[in-house]
């Protein structure tokens, strides 16, 4: 797709931040002792458990903070575990490796046209700052019209099961035949290939491969996009197929499910499927709808279900205002995200500008998956809290969504560590 090149490419603002590396990278254990534990007793505790004090921080914790290494062939992680349980020890933690973590901007040629994830733009979600810490995400199920699994900007991030393609067998014994690349729920078998374009556009917002020199960048540079096709080539799907799709995604272990669809009809059966996803620990990120209505008064479903594993998303513009088409509601809508004139992947390896809360929802879903990758123990409640509360609050959203918030990926990512156990 051709684009006007008059837009100014914004330079990256590089901000140095410290981010802990995995505990396995540690070479020592940092041990803090309780008040009243003498230096002599500290040494005896460490020695008895198979360690040796290598360094003492005389001014920190009143001299009761030391760096410890293992001796006698003892494994460092085993030493840390026994030290944590020892009487007189307040904590024993890895000596984390710290590194500079600068704001990162991808080299994808159409990135400058993506205001939602731009480095410094009104209405942007602070993606480059978040990318400075993490660019990978957990699996996201895209419950939609399918995904163009051959698209060069999507193919590297497409979820693949152990089912062999097109052999007419249920190789992975999950009850579905040939669901190699997700599932075509309408047929009850086969992969979730897109024949409409909507699902591919949604998928690109979540996980268009970032920094690969091709097309656009999703909020997740690397992820697994699970294609769950329950809507047909006209963008229509039945409640029963939506239920089957939610069931499939939750059973396959997807902890984030994007639902860019809705109806004014309230279905108890669909609600039961939402409850099932909740029992599996899955967060459903749902589009608020495009009727310009207050869904506190005129409900939309599944957006208006009050389950704690539902995150409902309104759409904003490049000027940080509520999009004219977007539904809203200070109670029913959890957060807003960019959804107007969004450039993303489309059928046949192409790209297209589309608008709708369908485009806003995947920005929140991608952020949720980023948070889940950062903290694997984060529950749907943790993800929802971080995304709802750690936001930007443009004046135009006051009274329109809960907490008047527009998605801020960096703030949510920074908060998830303190929320997850």
Residues catalogued as catalytic: 144, 198, 358
DSSP 235-294: S---HHHHHHHHHHHHHTT-SEEEE---BSS--HHHHHHHHHHHHTTPEEEEE--SS--B
d(CA 188, CA 178): 10
Q: Is there a contact between 111 and 216 (Cβ–Cβ < 8 Å)?
A: yes
Answer for the pair 1, 109: CB distance below 8 angstroms, yes or no.
no
Q: Is residue 371 a contact partner of residue 255, using CB atoms and an 8 Å limit?
A: no
Look-up of token digits 């999950």: 174
The Cα 38–Cα 107 span in angstroms is 55
CA nearest neighbour of 70 among 116, 110, 29, 111: 29
CB within 8 A of 295, min separation 6: which ones? 288, 289, 303, 304, 327, 328, 329, 332, 333
Task: Count Cα neighbours of 17 within 13 Å in the Cβ-side half-sphere.
Answer: 19
């Amino acid at each position: 797709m051709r684009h006007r090149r008059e837009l100014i490419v914004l330079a990256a603002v590089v901000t140095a931040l410290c981010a802990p590396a995995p505990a396995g990278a540690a070479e020592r254990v940092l041990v803090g002792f309780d008040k009243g534990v003498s230096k002599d007793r500290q040494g005896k505790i460490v020695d008895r458990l198979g360690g040796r004090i290598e360094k003492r921080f005389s001014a920190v914790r009143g001299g009761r903070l030391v760096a410890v290494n293992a001796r006698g062939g003892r494994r460092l992680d085993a030493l840390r575990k026994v030290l944590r349980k020892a009487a007189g020890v307040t904590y024993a933690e890895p000596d984390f490796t710290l590194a500079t973590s600068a704001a990162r901007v991808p080299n994808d040629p159409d990135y400058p046209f993506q205001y939602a994830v731009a480095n410094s733009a009104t209405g942007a979600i602070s993606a480059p700052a978040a990318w400075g810490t993490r660019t990978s995400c957990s699996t996201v199920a895209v419950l939609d019209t399918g995904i163009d699994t051959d698209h060069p900007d999507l193919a590297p991030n497409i979820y693949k099961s152990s089912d062999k393609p097109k052999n007419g067998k249920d190789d992975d014994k999950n009850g579905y035949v040939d669901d190699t690349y997700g599932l075509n729920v309408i047929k009850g078998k086969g992969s979730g290939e897109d024949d409409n374009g909507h699902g591919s556009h949604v998928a690109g917002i979540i996980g268009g491969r970032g920094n690969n020199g091709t097309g656009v960048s999703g909020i997740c540079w690397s992820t697994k996009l699970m294609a769950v096709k329950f809507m047909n080539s006209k963008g229509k799907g039945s409640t029963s197929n939506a239920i089957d799709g939610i069931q499939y995604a939750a059973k396959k272990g997807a902890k984030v499910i994007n639902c860019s669809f809705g109806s004014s009809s309230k279905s108890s059966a669909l609600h039961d499927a939402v409850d099932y996803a909740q029992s599996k620990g899955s967060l459903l990120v749902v589009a608020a709808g495009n009727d310009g209505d207050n869904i506190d008064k005129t409900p939309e479903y599944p957006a208006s279900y009050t389950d704690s594993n539902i995150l409902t998303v309104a759409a904003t513009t490049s000027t940080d205002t509520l999009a004219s088409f977007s539904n809203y509601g200070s109670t029913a809508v959890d957060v807003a995200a960019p959804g107007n004139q969004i450039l993303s992947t489309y059928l046949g390896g192409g790209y297209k500008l589309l608008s709708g809360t369908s485009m806003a929802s995947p920005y929140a879903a991608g952020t949720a998956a980023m948070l889940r990758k950062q903290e694997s123990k984060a529950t749907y409640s943790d993800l929802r809290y971080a995304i709802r509360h750690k936001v930007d609050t443009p004046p135009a959203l006051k009274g329109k969504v809960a907490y008047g918030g527009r998605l801020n990926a960096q703030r949510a990512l920074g908060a998830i560590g303190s929320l997850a156990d």
